[in-house]
Amino acid sequence: MAILSAAASPFCRIAPEGAFCKPEEDPFLLLESSLKAIERILQLRRGLPLRRTWIEQPYGEEEITILEEEVIPVIQQCLARVDELDERLLAQQELLQRYQLEADREALGELRLQMA
């Protein structure tokens, strides 16, 4: 699964018409960051209860297992699907840019013929 980061994402660059996005406005970068934080916390606290801020009872082994076996894979699947959508849109965008470049070249060629 190829997860794009803000730095690697071709969608977070400045174009003539302005920014495609601001990383803080991209919900999928937030989701990716959250996933990494959850995985890091679970790894660092392996074997220890996981405290929550709004309930007194921490997550024990059963709840942590559910996170690892059910919740994290769903987040990973979501990010993988978003990558697929991004790749499709990027391919469409590149194709449109090629068509526009070709149309511009043809128009320039016709203009040169008219001027000759």
Domain housing 37? 25-115
Report pLDDT digits (tens) over 5-55: 444 555 554 444 555 677 778 899 999 999 999 999 999 999 899 999 999
Number of domains within the chain: 1
Residue 71, pLDDT > 70, answer yes
Task: Tell me whether residue 110 is in a domain.
Answer: yes
**Distance from C-alpha of 51 to C-alpha of 34, rounded to nearest angstrom:** 17
Residues 60 and 49 sit within 8 Å (Cβ to Cβ) = yes
Give residues with Cβ within 8 angstroms of 19, minimum separation 6. Answer: 12, 13
Task: Tell me whether residue 65 is in a domain.
Answer: yes
Single-letter amino acid code for the residue at 84: E
- Going from the C-alpha of 25 to that of each of 12, 28, 48, the distances in angstroms are 10, 9, 34
Task: Tell me whether residue 10 is in a domain.
Answer: no
**9: phi > 0 → left, psi -120 to 50 → alpha, else beta; which?**
beta
Give residues with Cβ within 8 angstroms of 68, minimum separation 6. Answer: 42
Task: Tell me whether residue 37 is in a domain.
Answer: yes
Report pLDDT digits (tens) over 90-101: 999 999 999 999
Task: Tell me whether residue 15 is in a domain.
Answer: no
Task: Tell me whether residue 44 is in a domain.
Answer: yes
Task: Tell me whether residue 86 is in a domain.
Answer: yes
| pTM: predicted TM-score of the whole model, two decimal places | 0.67
Task: Tell me whether residue 16 is in a domain.
Answer: no
